[in-house]
Each structure stands twice: as structure tokens, then as C-alpha cells.
Structure 1
Amino acid sequence: MHALIVSAHPDGNSHTQAVAAHVASGIQAGGIHSVEQINLADEQFDPRFNQADYAQFSQRAALPADVVAEQARLDRANALVLVYPIYWWSFPAQLKGWIDRVFTQDWAYYEDGDRVTGKLGHLQVHLLALGAASPRTYVRHGYFSSMRTQIDHGIFDYCGAPVMTSELLLPSDEHFPDAHYRLAHNLGRQLFNTKEPA
């Protein structure tokens, strides 16, 4: 089995990148599964949905080459792990743009009138969101439930990809940052042992 870990952080020494690296080390620890870890910031992925993307969406042109390459990465994967800092209650723009451009109609989902069929059922999804506010702030404003609506359901359920893990990690967590690294490593070790969500 193969996992793709995607993050988007301009600082290679960030907590985000450390958590992503611990997921990767957990996957590799068993010696059975493979993993590819990418940082969209390092790769300078262009997140802007541009004229070429719109032409493809309108069925007037083929997919841009960079989108084809990202879809090939996902086609090789059995699991997608997104590790990201929360910017303005959502993904960083580069990660959101990656989804905007890569999760295209007829590849990630198919629309037939009012019916939508997700096409990514082979891809289990694991989400690790790294926040900075207190747990009370997230609870008071309903952030975690809104994140699950916006991201878990609005993106991945729409595409038929089951969300197996959806975690909110905060600096106020006991034994931070080591607790985050242990959780990430254990997630990697157990990644392909996860049962379907209830």
C-alpha cells in the first residue's frame, strides 16, 4: 500500500513539517508500505485556478501538465494524508488551490444532472489540522464541526473518498509538541489498519 502525505508550509523546519515527517516515519517503520511526502511550498505548486484550468473545466482543453502530474501521484496512492496549519479557519491558500486545481470533474467526481458520483473511493483520507488558538475558542465558534462540514464532507465525501482521521492539534495539548509527534507516528504505523468510519 502507498500513502501520499501533502503539506503546504514555507518553513521546512515548521511544526507542520515535523508532524508530516513523523507520519512518514510511522508508515516506513513497518517496512511493508511506501510513502511519498511533499511540501507544496517547496515544490512551488501554483495554486491559482487559471484560464487553462477553466478551459479544462469547460471541456475546451486538456488538463494542464502540472495537474496531470498531481493526479498521477494520487492515482498511485491508497491513502492521502493532509498535514496543514489552520489559516483563517481553513487550509493555507496553496493547499486549497491544490485541491481546486487537482480534484477535477470526471477525475475526482462525475456529475450527471443533479446526481454526483464520487470517483475517489479507493483513497482513504487522513486530516491533521494544526491550530494556534485555545480549545475554548474552537468550541465557542464551532470551528471543528464547521471544518468537518467544509473539508471532510464538502470536499472528500463529495469525491467519494472516506475520511478516516480528522484531528485538530493545538499547542495547549498536553505534552506538546511531543504528543503531536507520537500521534502522527502512530497514525503512520496504523494507517492501513484503519477500519471504515462509522
Structure 2
Amino acid sequence: MHATIVVSNPVRGSLTQAIARKVSEGLVASCDRHSFEIVDLAAEGFDPRFTARDAAVLLREADPSPEVVAEQARLDRSDALALVYPVYWWSMPALMKGWIDRVFTNGWAYDDRPGRGIVKKLGRLPVHLIAIGGAGRRTYDRHGYAEAMKAQIEHGIFDYCGAPVASSNLLLLSDEGAPDALLDKARAIGEAMFAARLADCA
């Protein structure tokens, strides 16, 4: 089984990137047949700007650009997708949101044609969300951040495409034992990613 782990943090050596590596370590530790690719959007220079061509793709009046097609091919090779990102203004960074805006196109992630309704096309791709926050858990709870993530990201993006959210995790720097405890949790997320398929490793 193969996982694509997408990271959005411009700072080299960031906790976000360390958590992504721990997810990959856990994945391989659970079965040496599992594989992964870490996609560092900042390091790769992905352009998140939604252009006129992207708008035409939305309307099915143009084909996606080569860089978008390449990202879709990555996901077509994947059995799971993990998004690892710091919380910016109660959501994901603009770079990651722009990646979703451009890559999850009409015709690939879903099919929207007049009079036919929406066809969800990503039921084969379970998603694992790993958000890293700096505020205390009581602050997030008080403001309903878990529900906000569920509405905006889980429902608004992935349910629309049919991609099941297999896990949604909020790792906080204020949690006891952080940051080491967060790295341990990230490894556990990786270990559990393909738990239902561990019989394949027997």
C-alpha cells in the first residue's frame, strides 16, 4: 500500500515536517511492504494561485495544466492521502488550500454536469488530516474548532469528492509532553493508516 503525505510549511526543519516524517516511519514500521511519498509543497514550489485556466477547467472548457495532472497522477498511485499542516487562521495554509483548489478538479475529483447532479469520484482515497496548533486545547474546544474543521474541510472538501476522512487529528503544542508526544502520536497515525490491510503483510 502506498501513501502520499502532503506537507505545507515553508520553514525547513519545522515540526510540521518532522511530524510528516514520523507518519512515514510508522507506516513502514507497520509493514515493510508499505511505501510513501512526502510532498513538500513549499520546497517543490507548487503554485497555489487559481488562474483563468483553472477556472476554465472547472467549467470543463480546458484541460488541467501539466503540473496539476502530475499531482493527480501522484494521488492516482496512492492508497491513502495524509495532509500535515499548521493551523493558520483556523484553517490550513493558503498553499495547501490552493493545492486542493487546483488539483481536485471537476472531472477528476468529482463530476459536475448540468442536469446530472454531482458524482463523487474519490471514494477509493481515504484521507488523514493532521493539523498542528499553537493554542491550548481549551481554546480550540471553546471556539468549536473540531466542528469547524469537520464542516469546512471534512465535509466541504472531502465529502464533496467522496474521499472518506479516515482520521482527523489536532496536535497541539500545549499538550503534555509536546513536542515529543506529538511525534509519537504522528508515528501511531502512520502505523494505523493501513491497519485493516495488515493481513497483506503476513
The normalised TM-score by structure 2 is 0.93
Q: Indicate whether 1:178 and 2:146 are aligned.
A: no
* Partner residue, 1:20: 20
Structure 2 contact 57–106 (Cα < 8 Å) conserved: no
1:116-135: CA deviation from partner (whole Å, max 9, x where unpaired): 22100110100000011111
* Partner residue, 2:124: 122
* Partner residue, 1:52: 53
* Partner residue, 2:33: 32
Unpaired runs of 5+ residues, structure 2, are 198-202
Structure 1 contact 164–194 (Cα < 8 Å) conserved: no
More helix by share: 2
Q: Which moved more, 1:136-145 or 1:64-73?
A: 136-145
User: How many Å apart are 1:60 and its aligned residue?
Assistant: 2.3
* Partner residue, 1:101: 102
Q: Which moved more, 1:48-57 or 1:158-167?
A: 48-57
User: How many Å apart are 1:194 and its aligned residue?
Assistant: 4.9
Match of 2:171 among 164, 169, 172: 169
Q: 1:124-163 maps to which residues of 2 (within 5 A)?
A: 124-163=126-165
Q: Indicate whether 1:191 and 2:200 are aligned.
A: no
Aligned partners of 1:51 and 1:154: how far apart in 2? 23
Structure 2 contact 3–78 (Cα < 8 Å) conserved: yes
User: How many Å apart are 1:115 and its aligned residue?
Assistant: 2.5
Instruction: Count residues with an aligned counterpart.
Output: 195
The normalised TM-score by structure 1 is 0.95
Aligned partners of 2:85 and 2:74: how far apart in 1? 19
SS in 2 for 1:158: helix
User: How many Å apart are 1:55 and its aligned residue?
Assistant: 1.9
User: How many Å apart are 1:96 and its aligned residue?
Assistant: 0.1
Structure 1 contact 4–36 (Cα < 8 Å) conserved: yes
Structure 2 contact 16–85 (Cα < 8 Å) conserved: yes
Aligned partners of 1:172 and 1:134: how far apart in 2? 5
User: How many Å apart are 1:28 and its aligned residue?
Assistant: 1.8
Q: Alpha carbon RMSD of aligned pairs, Å?
A: 1.3
Unpaired runs of 5+ residues, structure 1, are none
| Amino acid aligned to 2:181 | A
Aligned partners of 1:194 and 1:169: how far apart in 2? 24
| Amino acid aligned to 1:148 | K
